[in-house]
Amino acid sequence: MSRLTSCSIWEAFKLSMKFLVFLGTVRDSSPLSPPRLGLRVARACVAQLHQGDISVELIDPLDFDLGSIFKPHFAYTQGKAPAQLQSLAEKIAAADGYVMVSPEYNHSLSPALAHLLNHFGSSLFSYKPSAIVTYSAGQWGGVRAAVGMRSFLSELGCLPVSAMIHIPKAHEVLTEDGSFLASVDAEKWTSYFARTFTQLTWWASATQNQRNAIDPHKLVPAFKRDPSQRNSPSENS
């Protein structure tokens, strides 16, 4: 059986698509060595996805000043959100799918990734797919973080595809620019990435076509007034 490649992903889908790769770490110093290990992983994801008319942008939480007091994008009066927050909201809304890159913190996703994503309402992410990518400097590859990420991303509305990418000892697999080290089998790793990204691209293509045919937000309006809109019917309401 022939191995999947990043090129075969593009050959199978003749559509223009946009993906955002969210990096889930702000750590840029030791004790983790090398620092910013996750940036290598995120750059590898960008390189593996970026083919043909598939555009990919890396979203690094260090590039955003979110302030010390939590105030999400949807809490601002329309047109009053900070420019950085508004710009990212527009990118999320325009994207066809997402790649979420996270290390493992206490058997869960990183606080940096959760904090960034929590600034945006699910209506921006919904009806699009996502892919889970975890990594570690140790032997487990962040796999336990993926369990919580599935429910977290499902609640956001960007349902994760079934295949996932886990990279143990990521510093022994990837260079600083996201390329594969000469000491590993780059063909096997490319095929491993492609399995997940083929699923992501397939679902992104399918949901893009369906969104173009029928606007899902007109079928199921987003909750925009208060949390009680989620409630089941009540005789007293």
Query: Is the residue at 1 inside a domain?
Result: no
The CATH number covering residue 17 comes to 3.40.50.360
**Residue 1 confidence class, pLDDT cut points 50, 70, 90:** very low
The lowest-confidence range among 91-95, 203-207, 216-220 is 216-220
Domain count, the chain: 1
In a domain, 236, yes or no: no
Residue 51: inside a domain? yes
Parent domain of 138: 6-230
- Residue 32, pLDDT > 70, answer no
Give the per-residue pLDDT at 63. 94
How many Å is the Cα radius of gyration of the chain? Answer: 18
205 is a domain residue: yes
Look at residue 235 and tell me if it is in a domain: no
Is 148 within a domain? yes
Beta-carbon contacts of 164 under 8 Å, excluding residues fewer than 6 positions away, are 131, 132, 133, 134, 146, 196
DSSP secondary structure string for all residues of 125-157: HTTS-EEEEEE-SSSSTTHHHHHHHHHHHHHHT
As given in the structure block, the two tokens for residue 7 are: 């090129």
Rounded to an integer, what distance in angstroms lies between the CA atom of residue 81 and that of residue 75?
8
Question: How far apart are the C-alpha atoms of 56 and 114, rounded to whole Å?
Answer: 21
98-143 residue pLDDT tens: 999 999 988 889 999 999 999 999 999 999 999 999 999 999 999 9
Position 237 in a domain:
no
Beta strands in the chain (DSSP E): 17-23, 54-59, 97-102, 130-135, 165-167
Residue 25 maps to a domain: yes
